[in-house]
Amino acid sequence: MNIVVCIKYVPDAQAELTFNASDNTTDRLGVEGLLSELDEYAIEAGLKLAEAAAGGVAENTVTVLTVGPDKAADAIKKALQMGAHAGVHVSDEAIHGSDAAATSLILAEAVKKIGSPDLILTGMASTDGSMGVVPAMLAERLGLPQVTLAAELTVDGGTVIIRRDGDTASVTITASLPALVSVTDQINEPRYPSFKGIMAAKKKPVETWSLADLGLDAGSVGLAAAWTKVESFTKRPPRAKGQIVTDEGDGGTQLAEFLTTHKFV
Amino acid sequence: MAEVLVLVDHVDGMVRKTTLEMLTIARRLGEPSAVFIGAGLDAAKEVLAQYGAEKLYGFESADYDDYVVAPKAEVLAQLVTSASPAAVLMTSSPEGKEIAGRLSIKTESGLITDAVDVQAGEGGAVRTTQSVFAGGYTVQATVTKGTPIITVKPNSVAPEAVSGAAVEQAVEVSISEGAKGARITDRKPRAATGRPELTEAAIVVSGGRGTAGDFSKIEEFADSLGAAVGASRAAVDAGWYPHTSQIGQTGKEVSPQLYVAAGISGAIQHRAGMQTSKTIIAINKDEEAPIFELVDFGVVGDLFKVLPQATEAVNKAKG
Ligand SMILES: Cc1cc2nc3c(=O)[nH]c(=O)nc-3n(C[C@H](O)[C@H](O)[C@H](O)COP(=O)(O)OP(=O)(O)OC[C@H]3O[C@@H](n4cnc5c(N)ncnc54)[C@H](O)[C@@H]3O)c2cc1C
Ligand SMILES: Nc1ncnc2c1ncn2[C@@H]1O[C@H](COP(=O)(O)O)[C@@H](O)[C@H]1O
């Protein structure tokens, strides 16, 4: 089984995110970045499947794929340290400002170039943009069934089976491979790289591809090709300092009074 | 006037409030057409007419309920071709976003997710407002290619009743075999709590690690206010409350009139799911807890003392 895991390099959630005033895009260079934590669950899911499949990790490969700036190589490195076999990094000046549609186009072409994997795994959403639409778009572009938001995942022969927890029901979804599966943060506990893993990662193959390597025209991605446009952005004014009371036996009563005055009761 | 397609969000024909909100938004952009996919159309007709649907496209086959997302995207793509709508609106739920993602690629149209407001801009352009970076910024955006596809967050507008003709349209659509690739093979219904749905609720009361696993005081307070109950990830991970009640980045994003956080510290990932609430209240033992930066009203104290007292006072005030 060949598994491709799509991983994203994102700004640190604790950092203050801002926009580039020049073109209204997210400022990704001014802040520290890392492998999106939600994609660690996808890497872990891929590694677990490879380990469990017949032939183990010797015959079942996990390739991680990222589209992003030079520093996104750090995300690949971490995934290789966790145990992934190989990395592919698509990097090109022209990619800056790409929207979800363009990102999915680049990912789709890269997946094709890697070869036809049996399974494509993604996280549930990026921790920065967090649209949660790239998996669906990628599945559409590749003509694959989408089996999304897995809280549990098994592969049985040529069939993938997941559990998805919805509002009204918990459902089992089944599809034939090849398929695209996105996983939630409920699915597993991502492993930490071991010392052995860190050493081994140094020898693992990483390919860096440009748009031209994928046969993509620079004009088909990036800010100019985006299908949506940010017209303006404003920093949300800090919330006015609220009233804070210390409970001295009547905190609940004061709380109820606040609710009554503001007509919530 | 151009049509605006609204994908009806429903459970077996029970129309969700977000649909009525989207019909209200659709009227600003053109003539609302409700698109109903799945079983239960008859039960839905009346309310769709009451909230201004001029046309009604019904696709009532059990098939749709068995497959995930892709067939619905195919139906909408065919309608986009035949009706040339001014925009397509659907709920900003995981499923809504996925349908929108597929539709966007099929129709080569721009997609905006998580809109909290949608207005007709100059020259008919559709202008959206979103809250991004965990609520830190407000962004105005437009779609520059194809038919604007917009997912709208629940509680974005107050639904306005206006009667619509709701004329049923007979349209034939075809669903490809490829769209039937992911099939729902089992369904375990969730027991109803009797409380409002989290994303639709006007008031949400959430508990965190500070409950130490005892949500009874949270629930009693919520019930006194007719509120939904939420939880932090710490409470969910500990197994104290179901994951479907988690508020935050990897849970639900809510935007109620009132959000009450009890025993929740206010981590950035939690804030991402509740920061746009209109009024925020917190109860926390630790006066340094970051949640207090957000509140309109805060009580530094033990939730097990504060909440029961507040519950009693609220119940008394209601008479
Ligand atoms: C990728 C990622 C995604 C995440 N997604 C989410 C998400 O969607 N939602 C989410 O909530 N978190 C999420 N988290 C986790 C988040 O970072 C925090 O760990 C979590 O929100 C903490 O929950 P808490 O506030 O209940 O617990 P804590 O941070 O431990 O806070 C408990 C609070 O309770 C107070 N307390 C204790 N006892 C009492 C008492 N008797 N009365 C009153 N107050 C009391 C304490 O003073 C403390 O402030 C995510 C993290 C990551 C890395
Ligand atoms: N630039 C990218 N490179 C690789 N994978 C990505 C990229 N952007 C998004 N993804 C994948 O798509 C998932 C959802 O992303 P999003 O739709 O941006 O919230 C992520 O968890 C990743 O698995």
The tokens for B292 are: 């207090």
Q: What DSSP element (H or E) covers A15?
A: none
In chain A, the domains with their CATH numbers are 2-225 (3.40.50.620)
Q: If 0-12 CB within 10 Å is exposed, 13-18 middle and 19+ buried, where does residue B236 land?
A: buried
Confidence (pLDDT) at B88: 98
Does the beta carbon of A131 lie inside 6 Å of ligand 2? yes
Confidence (pLDDT) at B20: 98
CA of A66 to the centre of ligand 2 (A): 8
Same fold, B3-180 and B203-317: yes
CA of A180 to the centre of ligand 2 (A): 13
More confident residue, B193 or B140: B140
What Å distances lie between residue A24 and A28, A37, A71, A91, B22, CA to CA? 12, 25, 21, 21, 28
For residue B283, give the ligand 1 atom closest to its CA: 43
Closest-CA distance, A264 to chain B, in angstroms, reads 8
| Interface-testing mutation among B132, B200, B271, with chain A (most A C-beta atoms within 10 A) | B132
The reply to whether residue B97 touches residue A132, judged by beta carbons under 8 angstroms, is yes
Confidence (pLDDT) at B77: 98
For residue A121, give the ligand 2 atom closest to its CA: 23
| Interface-testing mutation among A18, A133, A250, with chain B (most B C-beta atoms within 10 A) | A133
The reply to whether residue B300 touches residue A244, judged by beta carbons under 8 angstroms, is yes
Residue B33 has pLDDT above 90, yes or no: yes
Q: What DSSP element (H or E) covers A128?
A: none
* ipTM here: 0.93
Closest-CA distance, B214 to chain A, in angstroms, reads 18
Give the tens place of pLDDT for each residue, B58-74. 998 877 888 989 999 99
| First-to-last C-alpha distance (Å) of chain B | 50
| Ligand approaching nearest to the C-alpha of A6 | 2
Tell me phi and psi for residue B206, to 5 degrees. Answer: -120, 150
Among the four given CATH numbers 3.40.50.620, 1.25.40.10, 3.40.50.300, 3.90.950.20, the one describing domain B3-180: 3.40.50.620
Band of the pLDDT at A17, cuts 50, 70, 90?
low
Percent of all residues in chain B with a pLDDT value above 90, rounded to a whole number: 88
Query: Quick check: pTM over 0.90?
Result: yes
B203-317, what's its fold?
Rossmann fold (3.40.50)
Average pLDDT over residues A72-94: 97
More confident residue, A97 or B229: B229
Confidence (pLDDT) at A224: 86
Lowest mean pLDDT among A250-259, B173-182, B214-223: B173-182
Give the tens place of pLDDT for each residue, A20-67. 777 777 765 667 889 999 999 999 999 999 999 999 999 999 999 999
Band of the pLDDT at B36, cuts 50, 70, 90?
very high
The tokens for B97 are: 């976003």
CA of A65 to the centre of ligand 1 (A): 32
Ordered by start, the domain boundaries in chain B are: 3-180, 203-317
Give the residue whose CA is nearest to atom 9 of ligand 1: B248
Confidence (pLDDT) at A240: 82
Give the tens place of pLDDT for each residue, B255-287. 999 999 999 999 999 998 998 899 999 999 999
Confidence (pLDDT) at B160: 96
Band of the pLDDT at B118, cuts 50, 70, 90?
very high
Task: Please name the residue that has the structure tokens 């020259």.
Answer: B123
Percent of all residues in chain B with a pLDDT value above 70, rounded to a whole number: 100
State how beta strands B55-59 and B31-37 pair. Answer: parallel
A230: chain B residues, CB-CB within 8 Å: 139-141
